């Protein structure tokens, strides 16, 4: 299977640069994974495809303002840092640009010196381990000095930081938003619960590796980045009971899929678990748990296009993406949504 098998042509003007005022007003392409039938809806119509006894699984991760712009203390040269992974209270794995300004021993200053980062070492992929020095509370300084690490295809400034968070974002640690969840409002979630649909919560902290292109020709040679996940027993019980009673599992986002499929045993049963996953889901993968998926439209040749192709079939996905381009859907993080499901 070739990476090029997952290419599609996307006009640049279809890449959404800003979120809609009304989260639930996004368009919704509904794809029946068995028949290949496509319907065009609005996101709040998602209720039409849910039934009492089903379970919606959401990712409660919260994006941190992980982009810091400062200057090299010795020269004043501009340096940008992206926080990737917290190693302990003050040490982080980071991506630094330009890298030549960040050699071991170099100190980078932010906010006039209220926050400093010393580069400790260079690791694989050119990432840097840095140690922060400051007075006060790191999270408060980060909230004041940091910016949201928007994907590279978004070039317009985000006026409201909260629009790159889901309304249920809770557990800080992501460098990118679980974007399928951006379409939900608190009102819509309440209406779904009132229907008799259970909502289960998990956490997967999204890394910037989610935006990295697949650089190998053969799909099975790609090495996935790892991301931290967590599922508590009470939430696992909600999902297990749903399946035991004949309900369907609707994963909100590929992050929820990756977490559920990482934890589930061969019978699709879940137990409380946390850890790191580098699961790579592409066509040929046998799903253990997930039936249905609410997702956004993903980059050509990306691991996320491969994941949705594994669930719905590559031909169905390529046809649906072609239809979305034809109908001028909005693509990627701030774009419209897709529901992959089966006939009601």
CA 224/CA 303 separation, integer angstroms: 9
CA 239/CA 260 separation, integer angstroms: 10
For the chain, residues with pLDDT lower than 50 are: none
Per-residue pLDDT, 26 = 98
Per-residue pLDDT, 125 = 78
pTM: 0.91
Phi-psi bin for 175: left (phi > 0), alpha (psi -120 to 50), beta?
alpha
Digit-coded pLDDT (tens) for 240-265: 999 999 999 999 999 999 999 999 99
Per-residue pLDDT, 211 = 67
Query: CA 219 → CA 69, 100, 114, 222, 325, distances in Å?
Result: 35, 32, 45, 6, 25
For residues 311 and 290, the answer to whether their CB atoms sit within 8 Å is yes
CA 340/CA 259 separation, integer angstroms: 18
Per-residue pLDDT, 101 = 73
Per-residue pLDDT, 178 = 96
CA 85/CA 63 separation, integer angstroms: 12
Digit-coded pLDDT (tens) for 22-35: 999 999 999 999 99
CA 28/CA 339 separation, integer angstroms: 7
Per-residue pLDDT, 108 = 96
For residues 100 and 78, the answer to whether their CB atoms sit within 8 Å is no
């Amino acid at each position: 299977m070739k990476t090029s098998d997952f290419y599609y042509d996307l006009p640049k003007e279809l890449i959404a640069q800003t979120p809609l005022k009304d989260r639930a007003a996004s368009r919704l392409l509904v794809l029946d994974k068995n028949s290949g039938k496509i319907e065009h809806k609005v996101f709040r119509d998602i209720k039409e495809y849910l039934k009492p006894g089903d379970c919606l699984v959401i990712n409660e991760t919260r994006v941190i303002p992980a982009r810091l712009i400062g200057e090299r203390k010795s020269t004043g040269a501009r340096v940008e840092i992206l926080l990737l992974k917290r190693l302990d209270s003050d040490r982080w794995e980071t991506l630094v640009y330009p890298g030549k300004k960040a050699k071991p021993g170099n100190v980078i200053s932010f906010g006039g010196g209220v926050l400093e980062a010393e580069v400790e070492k260079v690791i694989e992929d050119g990432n840097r381990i840095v140690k922060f020095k400051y007075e006060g509370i790191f999270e408060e300084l980060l909230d004041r000095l940091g910016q949201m690490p928007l994907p590279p295809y978004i070039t317009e400034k985000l006026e409201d930081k909260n629009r790159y968070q889901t309304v249920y974002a809770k557990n800080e640690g992501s460098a990118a938003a679980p974007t399928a969840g951006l379409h939900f409002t608190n009102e819509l979630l309440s209406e779904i619960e009132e229907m008799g649909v259970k909502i289960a919560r998990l956490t997967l902290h999204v890394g910037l590796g989610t935006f990295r292109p697949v650089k190998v020709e053969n799909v099975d040679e790609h090495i996935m980045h790892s991301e931290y996940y967590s599922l508590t027993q009470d939430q696992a019980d909600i999902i297990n009971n749903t399946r035991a009673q004949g309900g369907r599992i609707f994963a909100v986002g590929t992050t929820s899929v990756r977490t559920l499929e990482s934890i589930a045993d061969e019978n699709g049963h879940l137990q409380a678990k946390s850890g790191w996953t580098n699961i790579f889901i592409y066509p040929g993968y046998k799903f253990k748990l997930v039936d249905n998926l609410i997702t956004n439209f993903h980059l050509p040749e990306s691991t996320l296009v491969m994941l949705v192709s594994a669930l719905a079939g590559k031909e169905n996905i390529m046809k649906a993406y072609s239809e979305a381009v034809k109908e001028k859907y909005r693509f990627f993080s701030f774009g419209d949504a897709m529901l992959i499901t089966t006939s009601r």
